[in-house]
Structure 1
Amino acid sequence: MEKINILIVDDRPENIIALEALLQRKDINIISTTNPNEALRLAWEMDIAIAMIDVQMPEMDGFELVEILKSNPRTKDILIIFVTAISKETKYAVKGLSTGAVDYLYKPLDPFVTSAKVDSFIQFVRNQREIKKKNKELEAYQKELIKAKELAEQGKRIKENFLANMSHEIRTPINGIIGIAQLLKKTGLNEEQHEMLNLLEVSSNSLLGVINDVLDLSKIESGKFKINRAPTDITKLCKSVVDLLRIPAVEKELKLDIDLDPELPAMILSDSLRLNQILMNLIGNAIKFTHEGSVILKVEILDRKGNNVQIRFAVIDSGIGVAKENLDKIFETFEQADEQTTIKFGGTGLGLSIVKNLAKLKGGTLEVQSEESKGSTFSFSNWYEIIKEVEVLKKPTEEVLMPFNNLKILVAEDNPINKFLITKILQSWHIEMDVVENGKEAIDKLRENDYDLILMDTFMPVMNGLEAIKLIREGYASGKENTPIITFSAAVMDTDKETAMAAGANDVISKPFDPATLHKKIQEFTTG
């Protein structure tokens, strides 16, 4: 235990000896002096906790000594106990306490009272020092927490920037592939070419699915992911998932089948997009890790309560299976059963992590049963409300995108494939256009010509789209400040649209874009 320093100041040595004898104990150090000036030096140099000071002394009385101690920041917190043999009149005690003392003892000292009071002040000092120590520790922890928070925020920013850049870099070429495939479909093709084009679209959408998985996982982790329930045809949804994955199953000569409970309701209230995502991941994984045999989607009713039904979606395969010690690991982000799995089968290791998080968000239960070399059963169970009466929606017919009259658009796009794609689409709508490759060229072109609309890519060399929009809105192309601007962005973070709108864009279209969406936006901003 740390010793407490007690200073005794009395001009009579015999009084000091008596007090030392009274206070002698292992947990305190007693420092004494008969000289008030010496007492000031000791208080300055040593860590004095309590000072017992005689009132009547030559050269400097106790009151003067205490006033000097209390006026110095280094010694102001010393606990002062006055010890005196002068009158017990109240005015002296009041004067002593008003000087800053915590107590006033009268000679001759009662040994029991003196010892008890000193004990209580020693305990008070220890408590105060413990509080100071804890406060310092708290301050240190607070600094560490602030530092950790700053690092976490920095990490979050780095992650968001990485996701935005990766999204842009991957989605931009995918946009070109999907767009050109759509254009090709409108040309004269034989049956074999149509089949090859369909496979190209499947591959492109699979690649797009990987980047969407990464972005979905990021949204789930940040709490920005929402479940939107609507009437869903459960049988149709399950069949469509199986049909979409039939090509990779056929390629591996696997039997891909579906086993639907005949008692399944026609319609349920569900987030069909997320349920589709869960089933796509589970069945896709099963096909990936099955060399021979079958993959079966079994959908059955487990329980009923009033107008609600508990449905279990089980994906049963005859694949490689998972060792018992690896069952928990496979649901972790970017993890697979073992390193050899990644080498042999590839993949990001995101599929089951997405399923796990989606199952949790939907309030369902995810289970797995597996035996190495014998296959696995992954199942998702959840309660759904049965929809008894649903308005039959007419099948939407393909929208005819009518050409525009006397419309001139400025296109700023640096990617040659996207430039080709946008040009072809706009030409098919009889739109006159000028095409530039960066924001600076866009501003220069806008100074020379009048345009009904600007289509601006977000990421471009020399000057990006957002910088160009800000400069246009600030009047760098005089008289053209209010020209409508739509940005193309391959980044799909929630903040991207806000950032573009804050820069002055009228609207944002994400890549890959639907031509019908672009047509509608052009119509919206060029008529009226």
Structure 2
Amino acid sequence: MHKSAQVGQFWSHENAYGQVYRDFEVSRLSVISEAIQSRPVFHSVLYLSVVLFWTISISYGAALHGPNTIAVNLSPHVALFTACVGIVTYPKRLTWVPILALAGLFFVPAILPFSGKPMWITMPEVTWDLLGFMWGANMLSGVLVGHIVRQVYAQIARKFPPLDTALLVTAVISVAFLVICTIQFLAVQKFASKLDPAHLAALGFDENYNDFALNRTLRGTAVVGGFMVAILNMPTRASLLRAAPILGVFPALALMHQSDSGGYAMMDVGLLALLLALTLPARVAPLIVIVGVAIYSAMTGAYLTDTAPRDFESFLLQRYAILMLFIIVLAMALRSRLSYDLAQREASIRRLSTVRNFAGVGLFAINVPRDMMRVDPAAQRLVGLPASDDLEALLSRFEHEDQEALRRMILSGDAGSHTLLVRLAHVRANGEQRILRVHLWSEQNLWREHIAYGMMVEVTDEHKRQRALSDALSELSVRQERQKQLFSIVSHELRTPASVISMLIDELKSGEDLAETTSQMREASSQLLNVLDDMRQAVNPEKNQRIHHEAYVPADVAESLRNTYQLLARGNQMRLSVELEQGARSTLKGDAKRIKQVLGNLVRNGIIHSNGSEIRIAYQELPQDLVDRRILAQGCWTVTDDGVGIPEADVERLFEPFERGSQDARNQADGSGLGLYIAKQTIELLGGELTYFTAPQGGAGYRIWLPDPLEKAVVHEEEGKEVVCAGFAKMSVLVAEDNALVAKITTKQLSRVFGSIRLASNGREAWEAIREEQPDILLTDLFMPEMTGDELVRALRADGVTIPIIGLTAAVVGDDTARFIEAGVTAVMSKPLNVANLCQTLQNEMGKPPAADTGT
């Protein structure tokens, strides 16, 4: 996704991002259950203290301010919520605690002393059958409600978020209480029909029982919902102590009513409780309201004593007072939800701000019409601005070239988001340019003013890494492209020496001048191998062969070149001429092989590309036009032709790899574009210089000079002395080579020097042959079936084989030599195998030549 799209989504989906930094919610009921399980005694004492206070307060209020009949006051019992709420919140193995508590609390209203009313247990109308039935009905109702809600909770907890689950449980427990308790008072009414009619009035089973029991059930429904909300929102001790003084308003209101200064008692306390439910902290309000209403009811009898309504207005007031209780519970539940969401939102913003500040992401907002800007602390640190400023102050912090682009982005007012990379005017201590990525989003406020909201983050290091990666990828792409070009034109580079060899083979058929043809064929094959070396040099110039100084005579080099390319020149209707001046017959010391390679490249280019009739090869010891140069020349070679020449515009890139000049006639012929590049690279490796000039004949000209010291070769007696491959006749050689023709020729060459030669067509076969009979020397190719050459060497060295092992490779590119060396070979040699060099290598390895075989 594009960065700007991501920023747009950041702003438009603020809630989704806020969810990430919310608390990881768990069910409050689960938290309460775990807390009770960890400290069952403490939490049970706390819970039972509250319900005991409630039961005693409400029971005394009913006894002091009303008839206190057993039928109404036990339909349902004032403490019935103890079991309902307790079974839901307690761990399963401890649910007996609230059940046992209800069983005991049931008898509190029956034994109230000092109430001015007879205690139920002393009334002759109250039988043990009646008490037993009422006890059983309330116990059954409480247990049923608790277990029903517990089962429902187990189901909805899997489908709803924890907070929604808690609210749903509050609703479910209220509905379940209402339904079960309605059935309960109907069952009690049915039971009353079996009692002595003379006792019904004293027990409260009169014509108002149904209305009073229904009112009590409705109020009990609100109470059980209120207690559920309170338990789900238990406040901290500190917040509860801070709010405790507010409880004083409830007895104060009760005293007002006792002095006939209040209005309708239940409505007054209901309004007060609703006010506190809406204004007190959401976690404190439920407990304060429950305790306050209990105190008020105990003092006034409100909600505890029912009287038959005198008129319709009284009937409505009673119903509104009950409805007020449900409104209070609903308000506390919704406030709990809203308060939690607000707290989570604030916590999410705080955490997000902390992370954003730590990450160095700055925010800013600009009122464009009023030119007012606000900047947060992170952005202040990034751009060095105060908390409030104007647009120009912000723009001044960036490079002049970026200011206009940023200004247009801010002032445009386009809908959607935009992203821009800008450079800060202030650089780092090390002089490095600082770069910010600015994301912007615009909208109109309530007054239809254009407001731009922005986010900025420093990406200097990221930009530097991306630039380095881009440069590396570009360089890699160029190298890959060049190597691809190289491989695609290998056949072209090999064509010239291969063509010469083909023509020389035809010459051999004529049988004329065999000595000269053989010499030319040797030169052509040497040229073919040199082309392969050129390929290696072009691909891996850092792995060039070492410079090898040897004696040579410039005149011999020139003649050798003419012999090599004579037939190719004739095939192109051209002639080769040699001009030798002073010093051409002198014996010099240098890398004759490389010099011959470079001159050969130049001659070949002239034959293939010049479209001329003559190529001249010239040598002089010290040309007059170079006398004044800082670097004096040991010798100067020139190669010129009378062809089309090189356009001046192409001269500058003439020596670059894969360049072939302009679209003139010379570019229509074959050519790799590597010849001049390799030639120049080779001469510079020797410390000399290769330059282009326009030949006097009008074609192309190349001048090569080599540096001082002017070391004329003193040819010692041992120089040029051939290596004598004597003393190896008794030695055995194993050749591991999968190419049958190469193996045959190699065997033939080695048989002239060594005693016995064995062949193995792959590495596995060679390894098994050595295990049967160990040779004196092993020659192995690299790429072979079943087991490669380096694998073979590793296996032998691991077996303790210490004989000289020579690795052979024909590869132009790749890591063949490195693989052989890592495997543990004695030396690596190029194909085709030079037996003399092999002998020299073996002599160096053994310290001295083996004793010659005298035949005695």
The answer to whether structure 1 residue 142 and structure 2 residue 465 are counterparts is yes
- Specify whether residues 388 and 254 from structure 1 end up closer, same or farther in structure 2 by C-alpha distance, changes over 3 A only: same
2:742 aligned with 1:418: yes
**Alignment correspondent of 2:694:** 369
Counterpart check, 1:260 vs 2:580: yes
User: After the TM superposition, which residues 87-102 of structure 1 pair with which residues of structure 2 at under 5 Å, given as runs?
Assistant: none
C-alpha separation between the residues in 2 aligned to 1:450 and 1:207? Answer: 36
Distance 2:713 2:727 in 1: 40
Identity within the alignment, %: 23
Q: What is the rounded CA distance, in whole Å, between the counterparts of 1:161 and 1:148 in structure 2?
A: 20
Q: Could you tell me which amino acid in structure 1 is paired with residue 793 of structure 2?
A: I
Structure 1 range deviating more: 457-466 or 256-265 = 256-265
Q: Which has the larger radius of gyration?
A: 2
Alignment of 1:68-467 (within 5 A): 72-74=354-356, 133=436, 135-146=458-469, 149=472, 192-220=513-541, 222=542, 233-250=553-570, 254-262=574-582, 266=586, 271-289=591-609, 293-300=613-620, 301-302=623-624, 303-304=626-627, 308-309=632-633, 312-328=636-652, 330-337=654-661, 345-361=669-685, 362-369=687-694, 375-381=699-705, 383-387=707-711, 390-393=714-717, 396-402=720-726, 404-467=728-791
1:344–1:393 Cα change, 3 Å: farther
* TM score, norm. by length of structure 1: 0.62
Contact 2:574/2:615 (<8 A) preserved: yes
CA contact (8 A) 1:307 1:385 kept: no
Q: Which letter does structure 2 place at the counterpart of 1:501? A: I
Q: Who is 2:71 aligned against?
A: none
| TM-score under structure 2 length normalisation | 0.41
For 2:243, the equivalent position in structure 1 comes to none
Aligned to 1:61: none
SS of the counterpart of 1:133?
A: strand
State the secondary structure of the residue aligned to 1:428. coil
- 1:28 corresponding residue in structure 2: none
2:829: which partner in 1?
509
Greater mean alpha carbon deviation, residues 353-362 or residues 490-499:
490-499
Quote the offset at 1:413 in angstroms: 0.4
Secondary structure of the residue aligned to 1:331 is coil
Query: Which piece of structure 1 moves more, 482-491 or 141-150?
Result: 141-150
Change in 2 beyond 3 A, CA 1:375/1:304: closer
**Contact persistence 2:641–2:700 (CA under 8 A):** yes
Asked whether the 8 Å contact 2:635–2:705 carries over to 1, the reply is yes
5+ residue gaps in structure 1? 1-36, 46-67, 80-99, 102-114
How far apart, CA to CA, are the structure 1 residues paired with 2:597 and 2:361? 70
Aligned 8 A contact 2:609 2:666 in 1: no
Q: Which amino acid aligns with 2:535?
A: V
Q: Deviations over 1:364-414 (max 9, x none)?
A: 25023269x953323234554333683555663554433634433322101
Q: Tell me: CA distance 1:260–1:429, structure 2 relative to 1, closer, same or farther (3 Å).
A: closer
Between Structure 1 and Structure 2, the one with more strand by share is: 1
CA shift for structure 1 position 482: 2.9
Change over 3 Å in CA distance of 1:123–1:156 after alignment to 2: same
Match of 1:96 in 2: none
| 1:69, distance to aligned residue in structure 2 (A) | 8.1
Distance in 2, matches of 1:248 and 1:473, equals: 49
Task: Work out the number of aligned pairs and report it.
Answer: 423
3-state SS in 1 of match to 2:720: coil
Query: C-alpha distance in 2, partners of 1:470/1:461?
Result: 16
User: CA 1:393 to 1:235, structure 2 compared with 1: closer, same or farther past 3 Å?
Assistant: farther
SS in 1 for 2:639: strand
Q: Displacement of 1:286 after TM fit? A: 2.2
Q: Which stretch shifts more, 444-453 or 282-291?
A: 282-291
Is the 1:323–1:370 Cα contact (8 Å) retained in structure 2? no
Q: Residues of 1 paired with 2:835 and 2:735: CA distance?
A: 15
The alpha-carbon distance between structure 1 residues 69 and 166, as it changes in their structure 2 partners (threshold 3 A), is closer
Instruction: Report SS of the residue matched to 2:751.
Output: helix
In structure 2, relative to structure 1, the CA distance for the partners of 1:164 and 1:436 (3 Å cut) is: farther
1:283 counterpart letter in structure 2:
V
Which sections of structure 2, spanning at least 5 residues, go unmatched?
Answer: 1-340, 363-376, 379-384, 399-421, 425-433, 438-457, 852-856
As a proportion of its length, which structure holds more helix?
2
Superposed CA deviations along residues 71-102 of structure 1, whole A, max 9, x for unmatched, are 943467899xxxxxxxxxxxxxxxxxxxx99x
How far apart in 1 are the matches of 2:483 and 2:798?
29
- Residue type at the aligned position of 1:511: K
Q: From the superposition, tell whether residues 294 and 340 of structure 1 become closer, same or farther in structure 2 (CA, over 3 Å).
A: closer
- Give distance in 1, aligned partners of 2:669 and 2:354: 76
- 8 Å Cα contact 2:780-2:805 kept in structure 1: yes
Q: Matches of 2:521 and 2:342 in 1, distance apart?
A: 95
Contact 1:309 1:383 in 2 (8 A): yes
Deviation per residue, 1:95-134 (Å, 9 max, x gap): xxxxx99xxxxxxxxxxxxx988559x9799979965727
